Amino acid sequence: MPGFRTLVWLIQLSFTSAAVLEERSRGSHDADAVFRPVGLAVGTGYSSQTSTVKTFKLNAASSFATIDYGAERAGWPFFDVLKVDRPLQIEIKYSETFPDLQLSSSDGPYPFNVGQANTFRVETFNITKAGRYSSFLLQGGQRWQSIQLLTDGAITFRNVGLEASITTVEPEKLPGKFSSSDDVLNEIWNLGARGTIASCVDEGSQRAVWEVDSKMGVHITNLRPAQTTKAIGFESYTLEFDAFIERGGIWWSVAHSFGILGGFHLQLVGELPSATTFVNTNKTLTPANTISLAKGYAFVNQTSVTSYLLDTFKVPFSVKEKTWYRIKTVLDPKGFLSVSINAKLVFKATLTNYYSGGGSISQSGSFGFGAWQDHAAYFRNVVVTDTANGSTLYTNSLKHQKVLAEYGTGENLASVCLDGPKRDRLVWLGDFYHTSRIIGASTGRFDHSTGTFDFLLKSQIENGQLSISPNLGYDPSIASAFAPTGSYFLEDYQPLGFLSFYHYIRHTNDVAYARKTWNQWEKQLNWLLGKISSTDGLVHFGSAFLGGADAGSAVSCVSAETLYAAADIATTIGKKAAAAKFRESANALADAINDQLWNDATGTYGLSTSDQSAFTVAGTAFCLTSGIASKKQVASAISALDDLQLGFGYKDSSNDDPETTDLNISPNTNGFLLPAILAAEDWERASELIYGVWGAMLANPETNTGASWEYITPQGEPGLGAYTSLGHPWGGAATYILTEWVAGLRTADGVEGFGYKNWILSPDLGFHMGLKHASATVPLFPSGQISVHWEIKKNGQMLVEVRAPKSLKGVFKLGKTKKTLQGKSKYRFTV
């Protein structure tokens, strides 16, 4: 994003001079780099019934403003205060849905990872004078915002907005396009496009989340502890540091995993003087002069991220703000954890007391520093010693910029795609599958695809695996830090990650990139081959997201699909022996799957050899899309799906009990299923699934973010509670499906189709949906595009128009009609 750094500098400048900012922003940089609200409601409470945005006033009679950005947006919040009649406090919240905005923590917090964003969705400001106010930390994904006046007085606002941390381009303006006679389908196409816009970020666009001062050390606010890379193997250590509470308290962690698992969390809250303590401070959660001890990710639970508050200890004296204290934490190999402040012991806890079943709690893992919601603090002069013998393990003044790289808190290191914009801000390997395909159909940001692959490939470990979820801020080549248990455990993310690379190559035919990275991919594929048992010929993983890790159909079929895909890429880059090897392995795996996993009684592929009667969406999807099923098996497996039908989609497994309250429909796995249903030419079923699952994301204006969802309940609500991501491109498969099967423009199968050298225009699904017209454009690599348009005329004939580079060959297919399109750059005909 050109001019981005200027923008950041201007925001910082604005702390002192709002007038200067306005002057410069008009002159020197792109006003598009700001997200503005589309709706505003001012009143006595939250309201989703918003009207025109204008200057507004909050006072005792009317203390709430609800702000609607219209769709998923991301950036650094700012607002201008025009007038304020006395010092007062306001609470600002952000959320993806309107209902969650009303929760006391809104739809956060997100202590799962640092993610170069605010851990919290609530922040409080002390307003003393007119001018511009900005947040230091970005809010990665929201449609809604509220501003509540917490104290007496009156305040007038204007220009509430977000300095964009992502591109501000709207889905309709992307290089890839789709439109049709049905507006619902057009909005469905936008879902995946907008999820991808919000989740794929440019290098350096997510700025540093710690500030470093050469005297005071690191300054931290509103952020969960970030761990150092230098203490990964540390065990039973003593950690000492200086801390200076600017407001509230300090948060730190010890014996903390470096991957995505948690550790011990400690929080010291100061005396909370009334002059500097916000009136909304939760003194039950953060009582004055205490240290809280927790295990997990934080001191509160947030849906699927579990934390255990183990104890809260009283500090035997008053802890002052703006005063340096020496904090000492001892992990004692005899099973104790103790904390002293200025050499006075606050507590010594027996860790085994916190396990009802006894046993020991691990004392190994890294440490880190953070600050709770609305807290701010400095940390410096860290010394770590071995508790048993006192030898020094680590020292760091925390006064140099290089701490940002060590603690993973600098700006994002590469152009990559995250799982979701507001949380789960990690570069998930297996979840990139749909995103990679959506990029081809919509944003055309192929640099985001190769940026993501490059980042993941840097995390490759000796055995060939890539990290399943590297962080934005750590150099991924420190992979051993995450291995083996850290972020390598979902083994099916390896083939899913490879398939996202395959789809990139299929779309672009970027042979140079395939050649450049092939050795690493081949190493990953060889790891995969090692997972095929010589006894039964099936894939045996230790754990798998798709289920049935050990000799299951989903993991075996996704692996077969991967090996066929690998053979195609190897062929394209002239690696004949490798191509033959992968194809033979895929064929053998296919035979083993059909021999051992097909169940005649259920008429589909069994979950695994140990549970033949159950079956899954993912197993059905990959056993069909890998092409290993016969025509008869395909038809039978598709009709067996009826037993998985739940609400408007399919539940993941026949073992899932629909009575379970937390059962969700996964747009991710239902997305894997769509191409399988289409390959079976079950137009009715495909149409119902698209309108069902993706239509549900649009149905309620209070939960619609205009972007694709992570999970949906069978009732059509966001799944996983407030925590869930409603900007997840992994749930956006309908986007490329509409381009490829409704407008009907896709590559031909196999190597011949790479880069659209041979393309197909086959709008069967759109035709069967009864559309009057549909159009699509796909961006080509490195440049160019193909555009198609068809419409049904009054006489029932279909008029077809195509523009494509002359060098590419096309075939039009609809039902039994077939027409070759080659040698021209424009085609127009009726059928």
Ligand X SMILES: *[C@@H]1O[C@H](CO)[C@@H](O)[C@H](O)[C@H]1NC(C)=O
Q: Is 660 in the site for ligand X (CB under 6 A)?
A: no
Q: Is 392 in the site for ligand X (CB under 6 A)?
A: no
Is residue 740 within 8 Å of 752, Cβ to Cβ?
Answer: no
- Dist. CA 244–CA 286, nearest whole Å: 17
Q: Is 391 in the site for ligand X (CB under 6 A)?
A: yes
- Of 342-350, 382-390, 429-437, 563-571, the window that binds ligand X (rule: CB under 6 A) is 382-390
11: Cβ–Cβ under 8 A, 6 or more apart, which residues?
21, 76, 78, 134, 163
Least distance from C-beta 125 to ligand X, angstroms?
A: 9
Cβ proximity to ligand X, 391 vs 534, nearer residue: 391
Which of 156, 282, 520, 609 is the binder for ligand X (CB under 6 A)?
Answer: 282
Least distance from C-beta 419 to ligand X, angstroms?
A: 23
Q: Is 303 in the site for ligand X (CB under 6 A)?
A: no
Cβ proximity to ligand X, 234 vs 428, nearer residue: 234
DSSP assignment string, 46-85: --S--B----EEEBTTB-EEEEEEEEEEEEEEEEEEEEES
Q: Is 126 in the site for ligand X (CB under 6 A)?
A: yes
- Of 219-227, 358-366, 386-394, 657-665, the window that binds ligand X (rule: CB under 6 A) is 386-394
Cβ proximity to ligand X, 88 vs 821, nearer residue: 88
Cβ proximity to ligand X, 336 vs 518, nearer residue: 336
Least distance from C-beta 124 to ligand X, angstroms?
A: 8
Size, binding site for ligand X by CB under 6 A = 21
Residue 127 three-state SS: strand
- Of 269-277, 547-555, 726-734, 807-815, the window that binds ligand X (rule: CB under 6 A) is 269-277
Helix (H) or strand (E) holding 217: strand 217-227
Tell whether omega for the bond before 87 is within 30 degrees of 0, i.e. cis.
Answer: no
Alpha helices in 174-275 (DSSP H): 183-199
Of 706, 705, 717, 712, the C-alpha closest to 689 is 712
Least distance from C-beta 594 to ligand X, angstroms?
A: 42
Q: Is 304 in the site for ligand X (CB under 6 A)?
A: no
Least distance from C-beta 327 to ligand X, angstroms?
A: 23
Least distance from C-beta 312 to ligand X, angstroms?
A: 10
Least distance from C-beta 262 to ligand X, angstroms?
A: 12
Q: Is 306 in the site for ligand X (CB under 6 A)?
A: yes
Least distance from C-beta 287 to ligand X, angstroms?
A: 10
Residues 328 to 367 in contact with ligand X, rule: CB under 6 A = none
Q: Is 783 in the site for ligand X (CB under 6 A)?
A: no
Least distance from C-beta 120 to ligand X, angstroms?
A: 12
Which of 301, 385, 594, 633 is the binder for ligand X (CB under 6 A)?
Answer: 301
- Of 1-9, 144-152, 304-312, 621-629, the window that binds ligand X (rule: CB under 6 A) is 304-312
* Site map 588..627 versus ligand X, x via CB under 6 A: ----------------------------------------
Cβ proximity to ligand X, 109 vs 675, nearer residue: 109
Which of 2, 45, 87, 750 is the binder for ligand X (CB under 6 A)?
Answer: 87
- Dist. CA 568–CA 580, nearest whole Å: 10
How many Cα atoms within 13 Å fall on the side-chain side of residue 520? 20
Cβ proximity to ligand X, 246 vs 717, nearer residue: 246
Is residue 269 within 8 Å of 290, Cβ to Cβ?
Answer: yes
- Of 144-152, 214-222, 383-391, 487-495, the window that binds ligand X (rule: CB under 6 A) is 383-391
113: Cβ–Cβ under 8 A, 6 or more apart, which residues?
224, 260, 424, 425, 426, 471
Q: Is 300 in the site for ligand X (CB under 6 A)?
A: yes
Total residues belonging to the chain: 831
Least distance from C-beta 293 to ligand X, angstroms?
A: 11
- Dist. CA 320–CA 524, nearest whole Å: 54
Strand 798-803 and strand 826-830: the pairing is antiparallel
360: Cβ–Cβ under 8 A, 6 or more apart, which residues?
335, 351, 352
- Dist. CA 449–CA 457, nearest whole Å: 12
Which of 49, 52, 389, 660 is the binder for ligand X (CB under 6 A)?
Answer: 389
Least distance from C-beta 523 to ligand X, angstroms?
A: 33
- Dist. CA 117–CA 108, nearest whole Å: 12
- Dist. CA 15–CA 36, nearest whole Å: 20
Alpha helices in 71-123 (DSSP H): 98-101
Residue 566 three-state SS: helix
Is residue 393 within 8 Å of 386, Cβ to Cβ?
Answer: yes
Task: Give CA torsion, residues 542, 548, 553, 557, to 10 deg.
Answer: -50
- Dist. CA 441–CA 86, nearest whole Å: 53
Which of 52, 284, 535, 715 is the binder for ligand X (CB under 6 A)?
Answer: 284
Cβ proximity to ligand X, 391 vs 715, nearer residue: 391
Residue 753 three-state SS: helix
Least distance from C-beta 309 to ligand X, angstroms?
A: 4
Query: Residue holding tokens 């309108």?
Result: 691
Least distance from C-beta 296 to ligand X, angstroms?
A: 8
Least distance from C-beta 284 to ligand X, angstroms?
A: 4
- Dist. CA 291–CA 267, nearest whole Å: 5
Cβ proximity to ligand X, 261 vs 799, nearer residue: 261
Cβ proximity to ligand X, 285 vs 511, nearer residue: 285
Least distance from C-beta 290 to ligand X, angstroms?
A: 13
Residues 228 to 247 in contact with ligand X, rule: CB under 6 A = none
- Dist. CA 174–CA 777, nearest whole Å: 10
Which of 156, 181, 276, 609 is the binder for ligand X (CB under 6 A)?
Answer: 276
Of 694, 685, 671, 831, the C-alpha closest to 763 is 831
Which of 186, 307, 385, 526 is the binder for ligand X (CB under 6 A)?
Answer: 307
Q: Is 2 in the site for ligand X (CB under 6 A)?
A: no
Least distance from C-beta 261 to ligand X, angstroms?
A: 16
* Site map 184..203 versus ligand X, x via CB under 6 A: --------------------
Least distance from C-beta 126 to ligand X, angstroms?
A: 4
* Site map 97..116 versus ligand X, x via CB under 6 A: -------x------------
Cα–Cα distances (Å) from 21 to 78, 129, 160, 486, 610, in that order, read: 12, 16, 14, 44, 65
Q: The dihedral of CA 201, 203, 204, 210: what is its sign?
A: positive
Least distance from C-beta 376 to ligand X, angstroms?
A: 11
Which of 128, 318, 323, 825 is the binder for ligand X (CB under 6 A)?
Answer: 128
Query: Residue holding tokens 């099923």?
Result: 629
Of 826, 825, 798, 824, the C-alpha closest to 813 is 798
Cβ proximity to ligand X, 423 vs 506, nearer residue: 423
Q: Is 151 in the site for ligand X (CB under 6 A)?
A: no
- Of 302-310, 636-644, 694-702, 755-763, the window that binds ligand X (rule: CB under 6 A) is 302-310
Strand 809-814 and strand 758-761: the pairing is parallel
Cα–Cα distances (Å) from 333 to 350, 659, 699, in that order, read: 11, 46, 56
Of 77, 38, 50, the C-alpha closest to 161 is 77
- Of 213-221, 384-392, 590-598, 754-762, the window that binds ligand X (rule: CB under 6 A) is 384-392
Could you list the residues that contact ligand X (CB under 6 A)? 87, 104, 126, 128, 275-278, 282, 284-285, 300-301, 306-309, 386, 388-389, 391
